[in-house]
Amino acid sequence: MGTDLNAIATQMRIDIIESLAAAGSGHPGGSLSCTDILAVLYFEKMNIDPRRPDWEDRDRLVLSKGHAAPALYAALAERGYFPREDLITLRKYGSHLQGHPNMGDTPGVDMSTGSLGQGLSAANGMALAGRLDGKDYYVYCIMGDGEIQEGQIWEAAMSASHYHLDHVIGFVDHNGLQIDGTNDEVMTVNPIGDKFAAFGWNVLSINGHDYEAISAAIDEAKACKGKPTVIVCETIKGKGVSFMENQVNWHGAAPNAEQAAVALAELRAQ
């Protein structure tokens, strides 16, 4: 493989904590849970060129769970789309790093997201465009498990299947928690895989923190022709920072300086 994904993901987690602490608000839990997926995509799988963020043949990524913006920004910065120093401007007035991703502001952001449920439709549109143009790029779409409570996700799931969009590869970051509690307390989403399968998708289920499993699942998704693939990733909300792991209260609260120091010390020891 040649790339130390663990080191990259750990650095991304450090970036996430630092940027959120500097911002004083934001969403650490769901950023940390999808960090490993983004690390594999941006550092191993995606056919991209940071010097040409608008390259028309590039693979695309739609962060449908846009509140995980700090994780996306960390991946983009570490990949060289913009300077790492920009990360501490997150959520501040005048920054190109908006609270939720905006394609017009940030190099490398392929779609504006943040209002949940909308990203998969956009991903489908990108895949349809690629097919029309005879291009071979893939479109990755990262959804939250709470997010799939939005009806539009299922409209889009139907469309991706109807149009046989085998270049759409979805991920569900299944950390089991959302703002008001567990998925099961708020609104049951399980069985996630069965639901997508019933909509005509190829479904894979993996540990979303296992780099080799993520990588292998993407390969398997690409090998599946004629239908879209969703990779249901079992993840841990707040992964990598012990006091944030599986804690719903870290969904939308930034660490203060003291908490950030503890988190960063933990991450740097990993």
Residue among 102 and 247 whose Cβ is closer to another protein: 102
Establish if 159 lies at the interface with another protein (CB under 8 A): yes
Cite the beta strand spans of 60-193 per DSSP E.
60-63, 139-144, 168-174, 177-178, 181-182
Using the contact rule CB under 8 A, the part of the chain among 11-19, 42-50, 107-115, 204-212 near another protein is 107-115
# residues contacting another protein (CB under 8 A): 36
Residue among 83 and 104 whose Cβ is closer to another protein: 104
Near another protein in 60-99, by CB under 8 A: 60, 62
Q: Cβ–Cβ contacts within 10 Å for residue 181, how many?
A: 14
Classified as helix, coil or strand, 177 is strand
Residue among 115 and 270 whose Cβ is closer to another protein: 115
Closest separation in Å from C-beta 44 to another protein = 24
CA 144 to chain centre: 8
Residue among 88 and 128 whose Cβ is closer to another protein: 128
10 Å CB burial of residue 25 (0-12, 13-18, 19+) is exposed
Establish if 261 lies at the interface with another protein (CB under 8 A): no
Which of 4, 133, 180, 212 contacts another protein by CB under 8 A? 133
Distance CA 261, CA 134 (A): 49
Q: Among residues 135, 198, 140, which one has the least CA distance to residue 169?
A: 140
Near another protein in 5-44, by CB under 8 A: none
Q: Among residues 140, 12, 178, which one has the least CA distance to residue 64?
A: 140
Closest separation in Å from C-beta 134 to another protein = 11
Which of 29, 70, 130, 240 contacts another protein by CB under 8 A? 130
In Å, how far are 1, 128, 234, 252 from 215, measured between CA atoms? 10, 24, 15, 29
Establish if 121 lies at the interface with another protein (CB under 8 A): yes
Establish if 112 lies at the interface with another protein (CB under 8 A): yes
Residue with tokens 């990360």: 87
Establish if 120 lies at the interface with another protein (CB under 8 A): yes
Which of 5, 22, 88, 129 contacts another protein by CB under 8 A? 129
Instruction: Report CA dihedral (254, 5, 106, 129) to the nearest 10 degrees.
Output: -130
Residues that bind another protein (CB under 8 A): 56, 60, 62, 102-104, 110-115, 117-130, 132-133, 151-152, 155-156, 158-159, 162-163
